[in-house]
C-alpha cells in the first residue's frame, strides 16, 4: 500500500530542504569569494553536523571567516548589494554601502521609508537635497540615499548639481571627467553617466568641468529638458545641490524639481539659516519635503 505524506510532514520536508539549500548557497558564495577552500568546506560541514550549527556559525567558530564575510555572503544571497569596506575603494562616508548594518545606515533607511511614503508615492521621481552650509552633510545624505534606493532594486540616478564644490565623484571614487556642466553647456554630444561597482541599478552624473557660470547653466531650458528626459529612464533621481550660503543655485534646482530635502548637522546647524533656506525654497513654489538631522 502506498503511504501518503501528511501536509505537516510535507511542510517540514520543504522547510528542511530550503534550509539545506540556503546553507549550501552560503558555503558556495564564501568559496567563490575566496574566503573558504574546498578542504575548509569539509571541516565546516563536519563541525556543523557534530554541533548542529548553521554553516556560517560553524565557519566562524573554526576561525575561517568573519562576521563581515557572512554578512557579505547573505547580502549576495538576498540580492542586497553591499561592498566590504576593505574592498570598496569608496569614501567611508558611504555608510549604506560599506557598513549597511550600522545604526547610521538603519537611521538612513528610516529616511528612505519616509520619502517613499511622503514624496515618491504618487508618481514623483525627482528630489533635490540641500543645506544651508557646506558642512551640514547634503552630499553625504544624497549619496547614501542613492545607495539605499538602489539596494531596493530601484533604478537610481544621482546627479551632482553642486558645480561649485562637487563631492560625489570623490565619494564614489569616480575620478574627474565630464558631467552635468558639460551637458548643460552642450560640450558633449551625449549624456554619459558613471556606473558604481556592485550596484547595477545605481548610476552617477558628476558635476563635470568647473564652470564660471553655474547659475546661468541651471537657468537654461536645457536643464529642465534634461530632467524630463531622464525621468523616463529612472525610478528615482536625486540631485545634490550647492548650499545656500554659497549661491542661489538651489533655488533654480528646487523650482525645476518641485521639492527639496534639507540636511542639517547636530551641534553645527543654526535655526536662522535653516529658516531662511526654507523660506527661499517655498518662494520658488517648491515644497520642503523635510529635514534630516545628522550626527
Domain that holds residue 216: 95-294
Asked if 33 contacts 72 with a C-beta cutoff of 8 angstroms, the reply is yes
Q: What is the pLDDT of residue 210?
A: 94
d(CA 139, CA 243): 10
**Mean pLDDT of each 10-residue bin along the chain, 295 residues long:** 46 42 62 77 83 82 76 59 61 87 92 96 94 96 97 95 96 91 93 87 96 96 95 97 95 97 95 95 96 93
Pair 42, 170 in one domain: no
Pair 127, 70 in one domain: no
Using the 3D structure, point to which of 47, 80, 113 is the last residue of a domain: 80
Using the 3D structure, point to which of 80, 109, 127 is the last residue of a domain: 80
Pair 50, 146 in one domain: no
Pair 117, 147 in one domain: yes
CATH number of the domain that 277 lies in?
Answer: 3.40.50.300
Q: What is the pLDDT of residue 100?
A: 84
Q: What is the pLDDT of residue 7?
A: 46
First-residue to last-residue Cα distance in the chain: 70
Cell of 256: 525645476
Pair 54, 138 in one domain: no
Pair 132, 58 in one domain: no
Q: Which residues pair with 239 in a beta bridge?
A: 128, 159
Using the 3D structure, point to which of 17, 45, 80 is the last residue of a domain: 80
Pair 66, 202 in one domain: no
Q: What is the pLDDT of residue 52?
A: 85
Residue 276 lies in a domain: yes
Pair 111, 63 in one domain: no
Residue 169 lies in a domain: yes
- What pTM value is reported for the model? 0.77
d(CA 88, CA 260): 30
Pair 113, 34 in one domain: no
Q: What is the pLDDT of residue 87?
A: 54
Q: What is the pLDDT of residue 13?
A: 42
Pair 19, 99 in one domain: no
Asked if 274 contacts 290 with a C-beta cutoff of 8 angstroms, the reply is no
Q: What is the pLDDT of residue 21?
A: 42
Q: What is the DSSP letter of 266?
A: T
Q: What is the pLDDT of residue 68?
A: 64
Amino acid at each position: 500500500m502506498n503511504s501518503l505524506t501528511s501536509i505537516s510532514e510535507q511542510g517540514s520536508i520543504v522547510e528542511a530542504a530550503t534550509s539545506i539549500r540556503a546553507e549550501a548557497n552560503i558555503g558556495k558564495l564564501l568559496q567563490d569569494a575566496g574566503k573558504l577552500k574546498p578542504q575548509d568546506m569539509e571541516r565546516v560541514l563536519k563541525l556543523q553536523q557534530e554541533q548542529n550549527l548553521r554553516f556560517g556559525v560553524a565557519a566562524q567558530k573554526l576561525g575561517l571567516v568573519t562576521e563581515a564575510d557572512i554578512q557579505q555572503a547573505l547580502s549576495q544571497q538576498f540580492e542586497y548589494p553591499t561592498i566590504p569596506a576593505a574592498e570598496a575603494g569608496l569614501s567611508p562616508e558611504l555608510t549604506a554601502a560599506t557598513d549597511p548594518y550600522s545604526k547610521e545606515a538603519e537611521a538612513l533607511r528610516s529616511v528612505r521609508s519616509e520619502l517613499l511614503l511622503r514624496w515618491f508615492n504618487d508618481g514623483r521621481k525627482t528630489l533635490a537635497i540641500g543645506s544651508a552650509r557646506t558642512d551640514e552633510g547634503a552630499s553625504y545624505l544624497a549619496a547614501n540615499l542613492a545607495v539605499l534606493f538602489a539596494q531596493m532594486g530601484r533604478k537610481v540616478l544621482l546627479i551632482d548639481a553642486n558645480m561649485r564644490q562637487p563631492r560625489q565623484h570623490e565619494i564614489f571614487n569616480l575620478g574627474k571627467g565630464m558631467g552635468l556642466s558639460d551637458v548643460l553647456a552642450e560640450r558633449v554630444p551625449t549624456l554619459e553617466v558613471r556606473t558604481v561597482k556592485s550596484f547595477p541599478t545605481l548610476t552617477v552624473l558628476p558635476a563635470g568641468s568647473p564652470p564660471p557660470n553655474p547659475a546661468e547653466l541651471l537657468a537654461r531650458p536645457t536643464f529642465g529638458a534634461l530632467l524630463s528626459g531622464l525621468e523616463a529612464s529612472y525610478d528615482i533621481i536625486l540631485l545634490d545641490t550647492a548650499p545656500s550660503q554659497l549661491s542661489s543655485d538651489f533655488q533654480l534646482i528646487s523650482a525645476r524639481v518641485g521639492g527639496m530635502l534639507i540636511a542639517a548637522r547636530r551641534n553645527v546647524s543654526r535655526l536662522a539659516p535653516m529658516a531662511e533656506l526654507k523660506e527661499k525654497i517655498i518662494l520658488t513654489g517648491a515644497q520642503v519635503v523635510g529635514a534630516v538631522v545628522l550626527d
